[in-house]
Amino acid sequence: MEAQVFDDLRQYIAAAKQMSAWKEITGADWNLEIGALIEATAELIAQPPLLIFDEIKDYPRGYRIVSLPYADFRRVALALGLPYDKSKLELVRLASKKIRSAKPLPPMEVGRAPVMENIMTGKDVNILKFPVLRSHETDGGRYIGTGDVIINSDPDSHYVNMGTYRMQVHAPDLLGLWISPGQQGRQICMKYWEKGQSCPIVATFGQDPLTFMASMTKFPWQTSELDVLGGLRGKPLEVFRGPVTGLPIPAHAEIAIEGFVPPPREEARDEGPFGEWTGYYSGGTVGTGEPQPVVKVKAIYHRNDPILDDEAPLWPGAVRFDLNLRAGLLWDQLESAGIQDVVGVYAHSNYLYVVAIRQRYAGHARQAAHAVIACSAAARHGRYVVVVDEDIDPTNLKEVLWAMMTRVDPATDIETIEGCWSTPLDPRMPPEKRAARDHSNSRAIFYAVRPFAWREKFPKVSRTGRELFDQVVKKYSDILPFPPR
């Protein structure tokens, strides 16, 4: 099947509707109802359908929200331009290879941009023209910044960074901005603030899937996601220069804003609480007592009949992104660190990393586990590392739990490591550590492998062999409703 490169979210939605399940829902309420329905769909339905909301309460037809676009790993493959008839583990590797082999292509400036079909400036600026969701019952407000791309530029090197950070609506022309300490977007803002200046910023909402995925992926400082994105696409991303900030703006976004982030000592607002990926309300003013930065919106641009991409976090039991791209990066980094015979890597949410190895020597499992914690792809805000043998599929939690239940001796095969890099969003962080800004935690390692010294004497597995298993699933898939593999 031929790989597709999507210039905008609309093209991707059209293609996704052709290859997977989707549902259009009309008349739903932006206040909690849509958020609850998204969560129920992601939690209760295997391979959840793409959801499109229209005629949303208080809003005209055509002002739409799309959600769960990446909740089926086949749709993630489609977005990445990869064959969607492969297994999840194969796609992790293929995605990593694509990212690794992509040659940077700088964006291409264009004179006309679809996102400029409608322009709001001055007193006309009103972010609530769009059906911004309040997704969780105790959220401190409505959040437009869930499926967003935020762009700012280092004032010294002029390096352009792209990241995904949350944005609360405080007023029609004022947004909250919460960026975790250490994130590159915040580092750039701080350089302006130290000079007593406001940081120019652009945010887009509803963009093509590769632009969003590149924004979510952590690349080294001064590696511009815009350039990496061009390489992933195989052609430059079309952008135009923002009239207000001079920053590059993706031309095919659904909605874009330009504005400035003043130093927090000059202007800040209470932010949150907000239901985060941990499954708890966290971050922002909650737990710190400190008001958070704001964005003064100077201009809004949008396409006719705009589409918001909702990516509001769900608790880890509800799947929003069914193919963890960070796992592929970690796989590469482990091999670069010299870990031999890695046969699979996967990340289940941001808490649990699983590495499958073919044991070659005593201490091999320990070496692999410690490397996971050291590698940048998994160094921040993890909790557990599980090392399994090559017969365990790390993407399959049933198999991982089976290995943990039958191959781990609690007295000898569980190790804890203190002082690891964490995040203020960690719900288990003690109040005194949070107050001291000691954003570190401990990690637990489970060596769910056959003990190397007597692995040949370990009881033999009684499961059906994988080859025969796959054969019968394929043969009888017309009779029994087997899920995609």
Identify whether 483 is part of a domain. Answer: no
Q: 262: which DSSP letter?
A: -
- Domain range enclosing 349: 325-475
Kindly write down the DSSP assignment for every residue of 263-300, as one continuous string: -TTTS-B----EE-TTSSEESTTTTT---B-EEEEEEE
Identify whether 22 is part of a domain. Answer: yes
Q: Is the pLDDT of residue 366 over 70?
A: yes
Look at 68-72, 107-111, 239-243, 289-293 and tell me which has the smallest mean pLDDT. 289-293
For residue 127, the tally of other CB atoms under 10 A from its CB is 23
| Domain boundary pick from 247, 275, 310 | 310
CB-CB contact of 301 with 116 (8 Å): yes
> For the chain, what is the radius of gyration of the CA atoms?
23
Q: Is the pLDDT of residue 1 over 60?
A: no
Identify whether 484 is part of a domain. Answer: no
Amino acid at 92: V
331 and 296 both lie in a single domain = no
Q: Is the pLDDT of residue 141 over 70?
A: yes
246 and 395 both lie in a single domain = no
| C-alpha to C-alpha distances, 389 to 24, 189, 359, 451, nearest whole angstrom | 43, 45, 7, 10
Over the stretch 193-215, which tens digit does the pLDDT of each residue have?
999 999 999 999 999 999 999 99
Please report the pLDDT score of residue 264 as a whole number: 95
Q: How far apart are CA 237 and CA 134, in angstroms?
A: 31
Over the stretch 89-115, which tens digit does the pLDDT of each residue have?
999 999 888 888 888 999 999 988 999
Strand 384-389 vs strand 352-357: parallel, antiparallel, or unpaired?
Answer: parallel
Identify whether 74 is part of a domain. Answer: yes
Average pLDDT across the chain, whole number: 92
Q: How far apart are CA 239 and CA 424, in angstroms?
A: 34
- Top mean-pLDDT range of 230-234, 304-308, 347-351, 434-438: 304-308
| Domain boundary pick from 278, 310, 342 | 310
The residue among 134, 107, 126, 153 whose CA lies nearest residue 253 is 107
Q: How far apart are CA 172 and CA 300, in angstroms?
A: 11
Identify whether 401 is part of a domain. Answer: yes
Kindly write down the DSSP assignment for every residue of 19-32, as one continuous string: HS-EEEEES--TBT
Over the stretch 258-313, which tens digit does the pLDDT of each residue have?
999 999 999 999 999 999 888 888 866 765 678 999 999 999 999 999 999 999 99
Q: Is the pLDDT of residue 479 over 60?
A: yes
What are the φ/ψ torsions at residue 261 (nearest 5 degrees)?
A: -110, 105
286 and 336 both lie in a single domain = no
Burial category of 310 from C-beta neighbours within 10 Å (exposed 0-12, middle 13-18, buried 19 and up): buried
Q: How far apart are CA 78 and CA 4, in angstroms?
A: 7
Average pLDDT over residues 57-70: 97
290 and 411 both lie in a single domain = no
Kindly write down the DSSP assignment for every residue of 311-336, as one continuous string: -----TTS-S-SS-HHHHHHHHHHHH
CB-CB contact of 32 with 134 (8 Å): yes
257 and 339 both lie in a single domain = no
24 and 113 both lie in a single domain = yes
113 and 218 both lie in a single domain = yes
Q: How far apart are CA 212 and CA 204, in angstroms?
A: 10
- CATH number of the domain residue 241 falls in: 2.30.110.10
Please report the pLDDT score of residue 250 as a whole number: 97
For residue 46, the tally of other CB atoms under 10 A from its CB is 10
Question: Which comes out higher in pLDDT, residue 175 or 321?
Answer: 175
pLDDT band at residue 431 using 50, 70 and 90 as cut-offs = confident
363 and 332 both lie in a single domain = yes
% residues pLDDT > 90 (the chain)? 74
Bridge partners of residue 258, in order along the sequence: 202, 299
Over the stretch 209-237, which tens digit does the pLDDT of each residue have?
999 999 988 777 888 899 999 999 999 99
Q: How far apart are CA 477 and CA 469, in angstroms?
A: 12
Can you tell me whether residue 439 is helix, strand or coil?
Answer: coil
Q: Is the pLDDT of residue 428 over 90?
A: no
279 and 344 both lie in a single domain = no
The residue among 240, 236, 235 whose CA lies nearest residue 251 is 240
| Domain boundary pick from 284, 310, 336 | 310
Identify whether 417 is part of a domain. Answer: yes
Please report the pLDDT score of residue 484 as a whole number: 75
Can you tell me whether residue 11 is helix, strand or coil?
Answer: helix
Strand 307-310 vs strand 440-448: parallel, antiparallel, or unpaired?
Answer: unpaired
171 and 230 both lie in a single domain = yes
The residue among 278, 292, 27, 9 whose CA lies nearest residue 141 is 292
Identify whether 317 is part of a domain. Answer: no
H or E stretch covering 200: strand 199-205
Identify whether 242 is part of a domain. Answer: yes
Amino acid at 362: A
Q: How far apart are CA 226 and CA 236, in angstroms?
A: 9
136 and 196 both lie in a single domain = yes
For residue 140, the tally of other CB atoms under 10 A from its CB is 20
Please report the pLDDT score of residue 98 as a whole number: 86
Kindly write down the DSSP assignment for every residue of 333-387, as one continuous string: HHHHTT---EEEEEEETTTEEEEEE---STTHHHHHHHHHHHSTTTSSS--EEEE
- CATH number of the domain residue 330 falls in: 3.40.1670.10
303 and 389 both lie in a single domain = no
Please report the pLDDT score of residue 286 as a whole number: 64
The total domain count for the chain is 2
CB-CB contact of 50 with 9 (8 Å): no
Look at 149-158, 354-363, 432-441, 453-462 and tell me which has the smallest mean pLDDT. 432-441
pLDDT band at residue 53 using 50, 70 and 90 as cut-offs = very high
CB-CB contact of 60 with 306 (8 Å): no
